[in-house]
């Protein structure tokens, strides 16, 4: 068996095979290695005489160990950074010891009115930190009762200095809460929403949204009730999120949110109503603040951060804008009516009234009132009546009323009366008869009166060209016609180039329609057109004004009608400052629109059958809403609205300023409401 042993040595050189019996070797003579567990018998025959593969250990790879080292270093760096950040935070905490600001409700006083409830809220904001200052944006305040929002308000932006307290006061107008009559300790929930920036040393943080919740507040029994401050979320989220995400609300929650927007906007607008209405100051991003008494201007300047409130506010804005577009005035009255109808409608729906029948009842009442107003309308025409209407709308400034009456007397009801800024302290009225163009002469060589710097043309020929005149030959036939008829020539064109202009200067004439051309404008007086054709053209323009929906088209058609039928009057508003001129200009515009509406439609110095109780409730909502404008006007004037409402059964006008004396009656005092002495309404 020497061959077999030789093969075993080749395959496993470190293994010595066990001796086989009969081989002549000693039986107990065996040799094994300590590190080899498997042995093969040297006498075992090989299959097919194939050689066994040589066993070789694979070399160890070092790449995996490199990865492990990198991971260990990364983990070590992260842990080290975390530890350092924690140490730094701990040091800052020990240095500054920051604490959240605290809030408490100091007092909550209640005032009840006929339609609303007002909460006079006092909140104390405290900053317990000695090294931190809090900068708060304007705070949105909402009062909740029984799971629903009953009123809201705002607190202006404020700053809480180090280790200080800030007293915050606001008046929250809400729906009338009848439960407060019987239970003065009704539990209320007050929520304050704002954004705050934190200043630590010279470092200013980004804004963070917070909500302060004061729960379990008792009306008329509140004394330093502590509130809870919640951190909502960090600002800086995707700005597109506000446009993509939709907040869907239903039922009572949706109506309550919209009602908040309607009420808050209406409260800001309604103070301007009536002859003694207050002014509103609007902050503007550019220029000085705007002082105005125009309802639609105030409404358009109001926007809320809450989307649901904006929905309600936009409904009121739409009503005010539509009223202003159609009537030119009465926007505040429309806003007050909208608030009253919406408020009563929400109450009725919450009480279980059928919505469709309620809507039908409201529509029936509105149609009946409009028909009744048209039947009762009293047309006005005398200068004194027009003056009274304009004076009331201009906050009792009789000078404005008289100037508007003079302007309407000069240009007629179809005439254009424009309001412009004046250059003096006093109001001025400039009445221009005929056609006025906003361009003057092209060359001073056409001046006929050097003293006034004007060019007066008597009975001229008028040539109108819609393009630039650049060829002298195109003017030869026109000049020959003017010479032949011995009449001066007026050319209205886009422009005249130098050569034709030189020829016109050489051939200028003086000679009857009178034309006055100044440096800034051209006025054409009288005229020789066919009156029948002019009247037909006026009727076309009136039809355009009535049927057109575009504001620009209406204005241009009205301007053309005025120039053909009456003339143009310019009311120049004077004042000592830009703010004063702007405020007075708004009043003049409102007075002008109210007067025009009163002249065109007149002024106004019963029951309705319904199919069911829900429709009857809709009629009652409109009837109650009609009382709101009167109550608001009287309240703004310092009177008792409830007393006046008891003396007036129905007083609704097409605009808010159309109460005048009848002919032959005495003129009231300037500071009293006309024709109301027998109702105790003069104040």
Average pLDDT, the chain: 71
Burial (0-12, 13-18, 19+ Cβ within 10 Å), 142: buried
Query: Between these two residues, 626 and 229, which has the higher pLDDT value?
Result: 229
**Predicted local distance difference test score (pLDDT) of residue 210:** 87
* Greater pLDDT, 124 or 203: 124
CA gap 332, 628 in Å, rounded:
11
Enter the DSSP assignment of 109.
Answer: E
In tens, the pLDDT along 270-298 reads 888 877 778 888 887 777 788 888 888 88
Neighbours of 230 (CB within 10 A): 13
Residue 30 predicted with pLDDT over 60 = no
Contacts of 409 (CB under 8 A, 6+ apart): 383, 386
What is the percent of the chain where pLDDT is above 90?
0
Q: What is the DSSP string of 607-654?
A: ----SSHHHHHHHHHHHHHTHHHHHHHHHHTTS-HHHHHHH-S----S
Q: How confident is the model at residue 236 (pLDDT cuts 50, 70, 90)?
A: very low
Work out the average pLDDT over 547-568. 72
Closest-CA residue to 186 (of 148, 153, 230, 152): 148
What is the rounded radius of gyration, in angstroms, for the C-alpha atoms of the chain?
A: 45
Q: Which two tokens stand for residue 593?
A: 């629109």
In this model, does residue 226 exceed pLDDT 80? no
DSSP assignment letter at 46: P
Contact assessment for residue 564 and residue 414, using Cβ atoms and an 8 Å cutoff: no
Q: Is the pLDDT of residue 24 over 60?
A: no
109 strand-pairing partners = 120
- Cα→Cα distances 105→195, 337, 645, Å: 19, 34, 37
> Who's near 118: CB < 8 A, 6+ residues apart?
110, 111, 112, 171, 172, 173, 174
Helix (H, G, I), strand (E, B) or coil at 68: helix
Mean predicted confidence (pLDDT) in 201-206: 79
CA distance 598 to 603: 6
Average pLDDT over residues 592-602: 79
Are the C-beta atoms of 636 and 275 separated by less than 8 Å?
no
- What local confidence, expressed as pLDDT, does residue 645 receive? 62
b/e 96-126 (16+ beta carbons within 10 angstroms → b): eeeeebbbbbeebeeeeeebbbbbebebbbb
**416: β partners:** 568
- Please, are residues 258 and 247 in contact by the beta-carbon 8 Å criterion? no
Higher pLDDT, 182 or 528: 528
- Are 346 and 270 a contacting pair, CB within 8 Å? no
Strand ranges inside 283-332, DSSP E = 290-292
Q: Pairing mode, if any, of strands 468-469 and 290-292?
A: unpaired
pLDDT of residue 213 exceeding 80 = yes
Per-residue pLDDT of 608-662, as tens digits, reads 444 455 555 556 666 667 667 767 777 776 676 666 666 554 443 334 444 444 4
Confidence of residue 178 (pLDDT cuts 50, 70, 90): low
Query: How far is Cα of residue 98 from the mean position of the Cα atoms in its chain?
Result: 38
Per-residue confidence band for 222, with pLDDT thresholds at 50, 70 and 90: low
More confident site: 144 or 60: 144
Instruction: Return the higher-pLDDT residue of 596 and 13.
Output: 596
Contact yes or no for 347/178 (Cβ under 8 A): no
Does position 387 have pLDDT exceeding 80, yes or no? yes
What pLDDT band is residue 412 in, cutting at 50, 70 and 90?
confident
Q: Which run of H or E residues covers position 257?
A: helix 251-270
- Tell which wins on pLDDT, 238 or 334: 334
Q: What is the DSSP string of 126-162?
A: EE--SSEEEEE-PEEEEEEETTEEEEEEEE--EEE-T
Question: Phi, psi (5° rounding) for residue 152?
Answer: -150, 165
Is 565 in contact with 414 (CB distance < 8 Å)?
yes
Burial class (CB in 10 A: 0-12, 13-18, 19+), 665: exposed
Contact between 305 and 139 under an 8 Å Cβ cutoff? The reply is no
Which CATH class name applies to 102-236?
Answer: mainly beta
User: Cβ of 162: how many Cβ atoms within 10 Å?
Assistant: 13
Q: Domain ranges in the chain? A: 1-57, 64-96, 102-236, 252-378+604-652, 435-525
Burial of 1 (0-12, 13-18, 19+ CB in 10 A): middle
- Segment 156-175, tens digit of pLDDT: 889 888 888 888 888 887 65
Quick one: how many helices (H) and strands (E) in the chain?
Answer: 19, 25
Q: What is the pTM of this model?
A: 0.44
Question: At the topology level of CATH, where does 435-525 sit?
Answer: GroEL (3.50.7)
β-pairing verdict for 116-127 and 228-234? unpaired
Reduce the DSSP state of residue 184 to 3 states and report it.
Answer: coil
CATH code of the region 252-378+604-652:
1.10.560.10
CA-nearest of 614, 595, 592, 612 to 603 is 595
Which stretches of 394-525 are DSSP H helices? Answer: 398-411, 473-485, 498-506
| pLDDT band for position 255 (cuts 50, 70, 90) | confident
- Averaged pLDDT for residues 304-332: 82
Q: What is the tens place of the pLDDT at every residue in 506-521?
A: 665 444 444 445 555 5
Q: Which pLDDT belongs to residue 321?
A: 82
Which tokens is 228 given? 């809870």
pLDDT for position 552: 72
Q: Is residue 595 predicted with pLDDT exceeding 60? A: yes
The rounded distance, in Å, linking the Cα atoms of 487 and 652 is: 58
């Amino acid at each position: 068996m020497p061959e077999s042993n030789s093969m075993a040595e080749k395959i496993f050189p470190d293994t010595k095979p066990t001796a086989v019996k009969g081989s002549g070797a000693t039986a107990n003579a065996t040799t094994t290695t300590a590190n080899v567990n498997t042995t093969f018998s040297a006498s075992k025959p090989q299959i097919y005489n194939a050689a066994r593969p040589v066993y070789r250990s694979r070399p160890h790879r070092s790449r995996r160990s490199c990865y492990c080292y990198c991971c260990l270093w990364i983990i070590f760096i992260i842990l080290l950074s975390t530890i350092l950040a924690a140490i730094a935070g701990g040091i800052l905490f020990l240095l500054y010891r920051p604490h959240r600001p605290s809030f408490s409700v100091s007092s909550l006083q209640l005032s009840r009115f006929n339609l609303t409830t007002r909460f006079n809220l006092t909140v104390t904001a405290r900053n317990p930190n000695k090294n931190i200052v809090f900068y708060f944006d304007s705070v949105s305040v909402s009062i909740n009762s029984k799971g629903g929002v009953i009123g809201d308000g705002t607190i202006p932006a404020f700053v809480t200095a180090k280790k200080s307290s800030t007293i915050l006061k606001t008046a929250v107008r809400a729906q009338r809460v009848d439960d407060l009559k019987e239970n003065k300790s009704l539990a209320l929930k007050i929520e304050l929403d704002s954004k705050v920036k934190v200043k630590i040393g010279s470092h200013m943080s980004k804004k963070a949204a917070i909500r302060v919740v004061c729960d379990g507040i008792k009306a008329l029994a509140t004394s330093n009730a502590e509130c809870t401050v919640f951190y909502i979320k960090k600002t800086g989220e995707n700005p597109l999120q506000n446009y993509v995400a939709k907040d869907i609300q239903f039922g009572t929650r949706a109506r309550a949110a919209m009602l908040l927007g309607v009420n808050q906007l209406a409260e800001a607008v309604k103070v301007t109503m009536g002859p003694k209405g207050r002014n509103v100051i609007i902050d503007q991003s550019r220029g000085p603040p705007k002082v105005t008494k125009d309802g639609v201007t105030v409404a358009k300047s109001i926007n809320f951060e809450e989307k649901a409130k904006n929905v309600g506010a936009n409904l009121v804005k739409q009503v005010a804008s539509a009223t202003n577009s159609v009537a030119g005035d009465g926007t505040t009255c429309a806003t007050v009516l909208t608030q009253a109808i919406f408020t009563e409608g929400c109450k009725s729906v919450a009480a279980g009234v059928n919505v469709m029948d309620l809507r039908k009842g409201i529509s029936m009442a509105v149609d009946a009132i409009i028909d009744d107003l048209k039947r009762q309308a009293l047309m006005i025409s005398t200068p004194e009546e027009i003056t009274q209407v304009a004076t009331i709308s201009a906050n009792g400034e009789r000078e404005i009323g008289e100037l508007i009456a003079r302007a309407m007397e000069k240009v007629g009801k179809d005439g254009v009366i424009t309001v412009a800024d004046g250059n003096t302290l006093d109001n001025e009225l400039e009445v221009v008869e005929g056609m006025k163009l906003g361009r003057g002469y092209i060359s001073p060589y056409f001046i006929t009166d050097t003293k006034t710097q004007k060019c007066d043309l008597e009975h001229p020929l008028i040539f109108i060209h819609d393009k630039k005149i650049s060829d002298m030959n195109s003017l030869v036939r026109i000049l020959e016609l003017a010479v032949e008829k011995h009449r001066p020539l007026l050319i209205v064109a886009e422009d005249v180039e130098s050569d034709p202009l030189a020829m016109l200067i050489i051939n200028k004439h003086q000679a009857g329609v009178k034309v006055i051309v100044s440096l800034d404008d051209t006025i054409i007086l009288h005229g020789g057109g066919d009156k029948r054709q002019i009247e037909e053209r006026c009727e076309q323009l009136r039809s355009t004004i009535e049927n057109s929906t575009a504001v620009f088209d209406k204005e241009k058609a009205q301007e053309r009608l005025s120039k053909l039928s009456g003339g143009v009057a310019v009311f120049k508003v004077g004042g000592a400052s830009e703010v004063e001129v702007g405020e007075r200009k708004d009043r003049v515009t409102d007075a002008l629109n109210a007067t025009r509406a009163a002249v065109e439609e007149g002024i106004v110095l019963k029951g309705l059958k319904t199919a069911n109780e829900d429709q009857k409730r809709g009629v009652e909502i409109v009837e109650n809403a009609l009382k709101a404008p009167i109550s608001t006007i009287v309240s703004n004037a310092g009177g008792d609205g409830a007393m006046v409402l008891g003396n007036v059964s129905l007083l609704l006008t097409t605009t808010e300023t159309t109460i005048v004396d009848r002919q032959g009656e005495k003129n009231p005092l300037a500071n009293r409401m006309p024709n109301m002495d027998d109702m105790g309404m003069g104040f």
